[in-house]
Amino acid sequence: MMTKIKFKKTGAKLSEKCGVFGVYCSNENVAEFIFYGLQALQHRGQESAGIAVSDGEDILVFKDLGLVSQVFSEQNLAPLVGSIGIGHTRYSTTGRNIWKNSQPIYRMFKDEVFAIAHNGNLTNTEELRKEQMKRGVRFETTTDTEVIASLIESSERDNMEDAIKEAIGKIKGSYSLLILSKDKLFAIRDPHGFRPLVLGDREGEHIIASETCALDIIDAQFIREVDPGEIIIIDKNGLRSQMMLPVDRVSMCVFELIYFSRPDSYLYNKNIFEIRHKMGQELARECPVEADMVISVPDSGTPAAIGYSAGSKIPYGEGLIKNRYIGRTFILPTQEIREIGVKLKLNPLRDVIKGKRLVVVDDSIVRGNTSKKVVKMLYLAGAKEIHMRISSPPLLHPCYYGIDMATKKDFLANHRTLEDIRKYLNVDSLKYLSIDSLVRAIGEPKDKFCFACFNGDYPVPIPENLQLDKYFMENPDYENEVKVSSNAK
Ligand code: SF4
């Protein structure tokens, strides 16, 4: 009998995490810089990649589905001649992963084309989309980015700069935006500063990127972070900055520090690896255990595992080897094939593990499917005891600000005690880092960050139509769909 299986990515339907990179350059080879910048930001989105460049008159856009290295070649980079440009890597959850939804997207303002690349997620998309449709605006995509573009396009202001400022005044939620006109590069960060955005300099040329690791790759110097609520405008006269929106509560996503940003990037002038190392040290202090060896669930758990080892004086070892050359995994319909999914990614070093009492450090647990399989794999490889230590608090609330995160009911920690989770994972002990210790590890005031997925304190109110539990109640089919596929850990 044929079983109908709908494949679908896990997590929220309404968010995306992406990387953006922009250059205002004195030569015509801007596309090459952007290509390398996007490669450095590949971890922020692997579904599509695109570059838009301006030669001062026209804007050319090339984008497609796939990794940066799959989308771009010498042949298709060659025609992208221009001295200003923006690029984007996308991880979609708003709408399908189809070409039309990939970025940069382009629209017209009066008789001039502009292109836009967005990292984040608006919380008032539906409201704005309906308003725009009442005004006769038609949408080609299902993305919130097109809503921003449509607000600029339909503005009656005299010039694009004013139209952009008007549009920004209407949108809510998280956005680190790059906008390219024929002769200007605009960089905008929302007043909460949810997603990172940094300014760099390469021999007088201006670079804007999601993370500092993308500056390093083209030998650009980090200048500073784009401030929450700031708009930077770069043109032939140089760089101008304005504080455009009142900042009442900066709320940078703490998950950028825990997991999303690359460990070699810097935020708040601090290296992300170092912050994660401190999380591990705090974890060792807060959740000690007697054991023979600390191992990580690579790669994301590694800095915290090394920190745990430093804090506990228990030696660190490589217990799991990661295959870095596979892409997404999906939960497949039979148990046997499901088991292969994790083995494709991770393989234990049996001789290292055998007979040991292990501390296994990971950065977070979403559904717990992978953690459970890793534990089983380690026991089969001969581990004597397994003590799971997580360098973040339990995930309990979905993210509406641009991170593809499971719905509330899908979080393993939702409505379960620590003991329930321990039993489910089948480990000897389980502990999570507390919010207070997390803050101590970061070394910045707590009120600078968003912790909503841990404590439900959403810095920007979530409209009812966005609340996913309601969405699921209205869409009973979703549950069946989500059971058969997963990218979650
Ligand atoms: S809810 Fe969590 S993942 Fe989303 S922005 Fe806040 S801290 Fe980041």
Q: For the segment 209-268, what is each residue's pLDDT rounded down to a tens digit? A: 999 999 999 999 999 999 999 999 999 999 999 998 888 889 999 999 999 999 999 998
**Inside any domain, residue 395:** yes
Q: For the segment 124-177, what is each residue's pLDDT rounded down to a tens digit? A: 999 999 999 999 999 988 889 999 999 999 999 999 999 999 999 999 999 999
For residue 49, what are the domain limits?
A: 17-250
Beta pairing partners, 24:
84, 206
Give the dihedral sign, CA 219/220/221/227: negative
- On whether both 302 and 415 belong to a single domain, the answer is yes
Q: Measured from the CB, is residue 452 less than 6 Å from ligand 1?
A: yes
Number of independent structural domains in the chain: 2
CATH number assigned to the domain comprising residue 336: 3.40.50.2020
Q: For the segment 355-379, what is each residue's pLDDT rounded down to a tens digit? A: 999 999 999 999 898 999 999 999 9
Atom of ligand 1 nearest to the CA of 398: 1
**Inside any domain, residue 37:** yes
Hey, is 424 helix, strand or coil?
helix
As to burial, measured by CB atoms within 10 angstroms (0-12 exposed, 13-18 middle, 19+ buried), residue 457 is exposed
71-75, 227-231, 363-367, 482-486: range with lowest mean pLDDT: 482-486
Point out the residues that are catalytic: 18
Atom of ligand 1 nearest to the CA of 449: 7
Q: Report how far apart, in Å, the C-alpha atoms of 263 and of each of 19, 287, 362, 446 are.
A: 15, 23, 14, 21
Q: Measured from the CB, is residue 401 less than 6 Å from ligand 1?
A: yes
- On whether both 449 and 329 belong to a single domain, the answer is yes
Q: Measured from the CB, is residue 403 less than 6 Å from ligand 1?
A: yes
**pLDDT for the residue 324:** 79
- On whether both 245 and 338 belong to a single domain, the answer is no
- On whether both 217 and 298 belong to a single domain, the answer is no
Of 249, 254, 438, best ligand 1 pocket probe by most atoms within 8 Å of the beta carbon: 254
Q: How many helices (H) and strands (E) does the chain have?
A: 18, 23
- Tell me the CA–centroid distance for residue 364 and ligand 1, in Å: 13
Residue 276 to residue 258: CA distance in whole angstroms = 7
**pLDDT for the residue 171:** 97
Q: Which residue has the higher pLDDT, 344 or 419?
A: 419
**pLDDT for the residue 100:** 83
pLDDT band of 8, cuts 50, 70, 90: very low
- Tell me the CA–centroid distance for residue 194 and ligand 1, in Å: 8
User: Residue 298 is which amino acid?
Assistant: P
Q: Measured from the CB, is residue 453 less than 6 Å from ligand 1?
A: yes
In order, the DSSP letters of 382-421 are T-SEEEEEESSPPP-S---SS-----GGG-TTTT--HHHH
Q: How high does pLDDT run on average in the chain?
A: 89
- Tell me the CA–centroid distance for residue 458 and ligand 1, in Å: 9
- On whether both 417 and 306 belong to a single domain, the answer is yes
Residue 301 to residue 286: CA distance in whole angstroms = 17
**Inside any domain, residue 256:** no
Query: Looking at the predicted structure, is the pLDDT value of residue 476 above 80?
Result: no
Closest CA to 365 of 334, 389, 400, 382: 389
**Residue that finishes a domain, picked among 223, 250, 277:** 250
**Residue that finishes a domain, picked among 217, 250, 283:** 250
Query: Looking at the predicted structure, is the pLDDT value of residue 328 above 60?
Result: no
Q: Measured from the CB, is residue 14 less than 6 Å from ligand 1?
A: no
Atom of ligand 1 nearest to the CA of 452: 1
pLDDT average, residue stretch 74-87: 96
- Tell me the CA–centroid distance for residue 405 and ligand 1, in Å: 9
- On whether both 271 and 245 belong to a single domain, the answer is no
Closest CA to 116 of 84, 146, 83, 161: 146
Give the full edge-to-edge strand order of the sheet including 205-209.
Answer: 59-65, 48-54, 84-91, 17-24, 205-209, 198-202, 221-225
As to burial, measured by CB atoms within 10 angstroms (0-12 exposed, 13-18 middle, 19+ buried), residue 241 is middle
Q: Measured from the CB, is residue 109 less than 6 Å from ligand 1?
A: no
Omega of the bond prior to 469 within 30 degrees of 0, cis? no
On the CB side of 273, CA atoms within 13 Å amount to 9
- Tell me the CA–centroid distance for residue 332 and ligand 1, in Å: 28
Residue 129 to residue 151: CA distance in whole angstroms = 9
Kindly report the pTM of this predicted structure. Answer: 0.89
Q: Measured from the CB, is residue 411 less than 6 Å from ligand 1?
A: no
pLDDT average, residue stretch 390-413: 88
Atom of ligand 1 nearest to the CA of 174: 5
- Tell me the CA–centroid distance for residue 14 and ligand 1, in Å: 13
Query: Looking at the predicted structure, is the pLDDT value of residue 417 above 70?
Result: yes
**pLDDT for the residue 341:** 72
Residue 340 to residue 344: CA distance in whole angstroms = 6
Buried b (16+ CB within 10 A) or exposed e, 1-15: eeeeeeebbbbbbbb
The pLDDT > 90 percentage for the chain reads: 76
**Residue that finishes a domain, picked among 250, 277, 295:** 250
